[in-house]
Amino acid sequence: MTNAHIDPSGILDEALQRLHTTGPEHHGRLSNHAPMAVEALAAHGRAAAVHRWLDRYAPKLDEFPSRVAPVTDATWADALGDIRRAADWIDFFDRELAGRPWRAVLAEWWPRLLTGLYGAATHPLIRVGHAVRTLLATEDAAAEVTAPRLAELGQALGYWAARHLPVTGVAPLPGARRAADALDAVPPLAERRDIFPDRLALVTGLPVWADGVTEPESVRARLTELVHAATHRYATHGHGEATMLVHSATAPNAVLRVLPALPHAQWAPSLAAAWTAAAAVTAMYGAAAPRPATAPGSLTAEELVALALAHGDEHVIKLTDTALDVGDGPAFSAALRAIELSARP
């Protein structure tokens, strides 16, 4: 994975402050992708373009939602998965992060939230991954964690809690040793409904992969393999649904980004959840048959970021971000395929 820039210019912090006055969703159920996209741009040295990109995206956003009642240690279970309580959840995590180290808050809530990672089409999980990457990069640089970056983790965790959505009743199907082969074994849905939770309900069986892997470094290796396989597969199967299939790669990559901040005991369950998410999204949105990938030629990482930024779509930017983490030709082909298939904003 690439090392994220911490953006000493302060532009990322400015952008996050702008965004924290807006809601986690807009137009009913659509996720606010801007915190993820601006972090990705800053992470790859494009902080100077952040406000210009945000100026185009921001008009679609809603105001910060209204509060209902405070979430507390005694009442949180009743509020889990209630999007009407999004502001209450964000307030709760603001208080938690003000009183304890962010790693301690994350370690307590990660297992609770991981069971419902499907909420909002995995976007809250992905937003947490971006927030944690920034915090880890700040620590690695021995820099002070800024208030907007810490607040972004609270916003992401609060959104996840408000959209918490478990999935049950998925039967184990014959799998494969390699992640790429296991993804190929995922049966595509015969019926495709428009709304993500409705389509997710049609997933009744997924192949088994990486069961029994518990040793921390083996978990990291297998999760890295999954991110590579899902990203590579987008290059040949992205035409199934160009936007939604992106999450088959970005969701497990979010887990991979968070892994170093978690206790080792939480790594194996995280791998299992990441596989189920990648496989479920593949079943829901992947094409049944591959098409030839677009060869990246001599394209450099800097040129790929420039192409994604010029296109401007938030999912293109986020898949490109993951492709740069993977860092090989097939991953670059996946980003190019997203650019080709996605409508420009």
Q: How do residues 162-181 score in pLDDT, each as one tens digit?
A: 999 999 899 999 999 999 99
| 85 and 230 in a common domain | no
Q: What SS3 class is residue 8?
A: coil
Q: Is pTM beyond 0.95 here?
A: yes
Choose among 267, 148, 164, 140: nearest CA to 216. Answer: 267
| 133 and 47 in a common domain | yes
Which tokens belong to 141? 């640089």
Looking at 6-85, list the stretches that DSSP marks H as alpha helix, in order from N- to C-terminal side: 11-19, 34-43, 50-57, 76-79
Residue with tokens 């909002």: 120
| 230 and 319 in a common domain | yes
Which tokens belong to 192? 């495709």
Query: How many Cα atoms within 13 Å fall on the side-chain side of residue 221?
Result: 7
Which of 162, 189, 219 lies at the terminal end of a domain, its last residue? 162
Which of 108, 134, 162 lies at the terminal end of a domain, its last residue? 162
CA distances from 67 to 13, 64, 96, 147 (A): 25, 9, 17, 22
Considering the domain boundaries, does residue 2 fall inside one?
no
| 138 and 199 in a common domain | no
| 261 and 194 in a common domain | yes
Q: Rounded to 5 degrees, what are φ and ψ at 225? A: -60, -40
Write down the pLDDT at residue 3.
47
Considering the domain boundaries, does residue 1 fall inside one?
no
Write down the pLDDT at residue 1.
40
Domain residues for 275? 167-345
Q: How far is CA 296 from the centre of its chain?
A: 24
> Do residues 131 and 167 lie in contact, with contact meaning Cβ atoms separated by under 8 Å?
no
- Calpha distance 94→90 (Å, rounded): 6
Considering the domain boundaries, does residue 176 fall inside one?
yes
Considering the domain boundaries, does residue 80 fall inside one?
yes
Strand partners, 165: 117
Write down the pLDDT at residue 8.
75
Per-residue pLDDT tens over the stretch 175-234: 999 999 999 999 999 888 989 999 999 999 999 999 999 999 999 999 999 999 999 999
Question: What domain count does the chain have?
Answer: 2
| 173 and 125 in a common domain | no
Considering the domain boundaries, does residue 298 fall inside one?
yes
Choose among 268, 264, 256: nearest CA to 107. Answer: 264
- Calpha distance 89→87 (Å, rounded): 5
> Do residues 245 and 238 lie in contact, with contact meaning Cβ atoms separated by under 8 Å?
yes
Considering the domain boundaries, does residue 6 fall inside one?
no
| 155 and 42 in a common domain | yes
Measured CA angle at 135 (ends 122, 13), to 5 deg: 90
| 278 and 252 in a common domain | yes
| 187 and 330 in a common domain | yes
Which of 111, 143, 162 lies at the terminal end of a domain, its last residue? 162
- Calpha distance 160→148 (Å, rounded): 18
User: Which residues does the chain have with pLDDT short of 70?
Assistant: 1-6
Considering the domain boundaries, does residue 251 fall inside one?
yes
Residue with tokens 């049609």: 202
Q: Indicate the angle between helix axes 50-57 and 34-43, nearest 10 degrees.
A: 160
- Calpha distance 85→158 (Å, rounded): 9
| 204 and 81 in a common domain | no
Q: Rounded to 5 degrees, what are φ and ψ at 187? A: -75, 125
Write down the pLDDT at residue 7.
77
| 248 and 128 in a common domain | no
> Do residues 344 and 313 lie in contact, with contact meaning Cβ atoms separated by under 8 Å?
yes
| 177 and 153 in a common domain | no
